[in-house]
Amino acid sequence: MRNLLSLSHLRSHRAKSRCPSFLHSLPVSRFRSTRTGLGAALIALMAAASPATAQDVAIVNAKLVIGDGSAPIDGGTVVVRGGKVVAAGAGVAVPAGVERIDAQGRYVTPGIVAAFSRVGLTEVDAVTGTNDRSASRSRFSAALDIAPALNPMGSPIAVNRAAGVTRAIVAPSGSGSLFAGQGAVVDLADDMDMVTKPRALQFVAFGEDGSAKAGGSRAATFLLFREQLLAARSYARNPATLAEWSSDALIQRADADALVRVIEGTTPLFVRVDRAADIINVIKLKGEFSALKLVLVGATEGWLVAREIVAAKVPVLVSPLTDLPSSFEQLGATQSNAGRLKAAGADVSVGVFDDDDAHKMGYATQYAGNLVGLARLPGASGLTWDQAFASISSVPARAVGMEGSIGSLRPGRVGDVVIWDNDPLELGSRPTAVWIDGKAQSLTTRQDRLRDRYATPQEGALPKAYDR
């Protein structure tokens, strides 16, 4: 059983502290001097495996979490072949020639899907040269594609992978106009090809942030948004309405191309919005642009208009620790937001927003765990364990239109599998093994190597450099 009050306090304190981002990326539980039992065996196994080759592996005797909201299966088995899950459940037979790993009753889950992040776009927040999150001086907006800017060698990749995150929905944070650009779904594997799906979403901010971009008023935000979509619709019908480039045009041709996919519903539109009134106005846009696939990001006051969100069938990505207002558009903030939305029938994902979302995606398990604990408080609304884990795996995958590919251990999904040393929603739990696309992954981070490099310095001698 959780010590609800002490864990909630610790989680909130850790998540809300404002240390420099590089300190946040130091995973304290990785500073263990030894590993024993299953962890040591798996680490040796993974070290021997080729990082470029998918493994055929069967993990047996697991407390198996499919990730779709169903209850864990005791004594379960998951089989991964050719980088894909081929079977998962109770009584699954292990095919001949497939390597068998005994999980010894530990939790085995799909990899965590970070519902919203800037991982790969920034290394050190305060250093401009390492930060590709926004393009505030670009002549383009909706057409901006983050894929070429992603850095698979960035240190946050390994830190979050070691926390069990295998996929992330990555969005830009801004441009010189209302639309920020096109985000991507990425994997956190230890290789140079991290893009799972480019141009997977379009991102736009309403509320206070959108007002600042549109002219200083919410009235200007909604007008600019509507007019740019209408211009894109006109362009789709007659491309001659827009020149290749014009300095005084309402929208550029490349931006119109990107927005046509939004109007047609091909590209989901992730909308950062918090105030209840703004949420209602965003939903009303579906009346004019019926094919829009809206996803609400933040939705701090979403619980106040849960009925309208559910009626419009709009998914919501929330941060459970947004429990106090930091602005006038968050006056209705409550930690029960996610639970109340879920109880109303909304599709709710849990993620790390506005809290160093490039470095601390692994905190999603703690956030989900908070909601499990919150459900036990009289008068509060949280999630069941099964709902909470789905909110960081299959539900964000569904929000970005990839439920059939990532986010669960159903057959046909990618072979993203994590073995944990304890309940993954408990504060102190860590992965002991991670596979992405069926490939065993290293859990060693740059922080681990720095620790080892300086753990036993010799008098008068500099530590050895890293192996190249």
What is the CATH number assigned to the segment(s) 112-406? 3.20.20.140
Q: Measured between alpha carbons, how far is 328 from 275 in angstroms, rounded to an integer?
A: 8
CA 16, 17, 18, 21 torsion-angle sign: negative
Per-residue pLDDT of the chain (468 residues; tens, 9 = 90+): 333 333 333 333 333 333 333 333 333 333 333 344 555 455 445 444 445 578 899 999 999 999 999 999 999 999 999 999 999 999 999 999 999 999 999 999 999 999 999 999 998 888 888 888 889 889 899 999 999 999 999 999 999 999 999 999 999 988 888 999 999 999 999 999 999 999 999 999 999 999 988 889 999 999 999 999 999 999 999 998 887 777 767 889 999 999 999 999 999 999 999 999 999 999 999 999 999 999 999 999 999 999 999 999 999 999 988 889 999 999 999 999 999 999 999 999 999 887 778 889 999 999 999 999 999 999 999 999 999 999 999 999 999 999 999 999 999 999 999 999 999 999 999 999 999 999 999 999 999 988 887 787 666 666 556 554
- Beta pairing class for 431-436 and 294-298: unpaired
User: What is the 3-state composition of the chain as percent helix, strand, coil, each rounded to the nearest 5?
Assistant: 35, 20, 45
pTM: 0.86
Q: How far is CA 273 from CA 196, 232, 255, 282, in A?
A: 26, 23, 22, 8
Query: Quick one: tokens of 237?
Result: 């019908």
For the chain, what are the domain ranges? 35-110+408-444, 112-406
Looking at residue 464, its pLDDT comes to 59
End-to-end CA distance of the chain: 46
Residues 6+ apart with CB under 8 A from 358: 21, 117, 118, 119, 120, 121, 122, 125, 133, 156
pLDDT for 454 equals: 79
Residue 148: what pLDDT? 96
For the record, the structure tokens of 300 come out as 């701090």
Residue 252's identity, in one-letter code, is: Q
Judged by DSSP in three states, 399 sits in: helix
Q: Is 286 helix (H, G, I), strand (E, B) or coil?
A: helix
3-state secondary structure of 181: strand
- Residue 312, phi-psi category: left (phi > 0), alpha (psi -120 to 50), beta (remainder): alpha
C-alpha span between 238 and 246 (Å, rounded): 17
Which string of b and e fits 137-162 if b means at least 16 CB within 10 Å? Answer: eeebbbbbbbbebbbbebbbbbbbbb
**What superfamily would CATH give domain 35-110+408-444?**
Urease, subunit C, domain 1 (2.30.40.10)
Q: What pLDDT does 126 receive?
A: 83
C-alpha pair distances (Å), 465 with each of 23, 33, 129, 372: 22, 21, 25, 44
- What are all long-range contacts of 458-463, with beta carbons under 8 Å and residues at least 24 apart? none
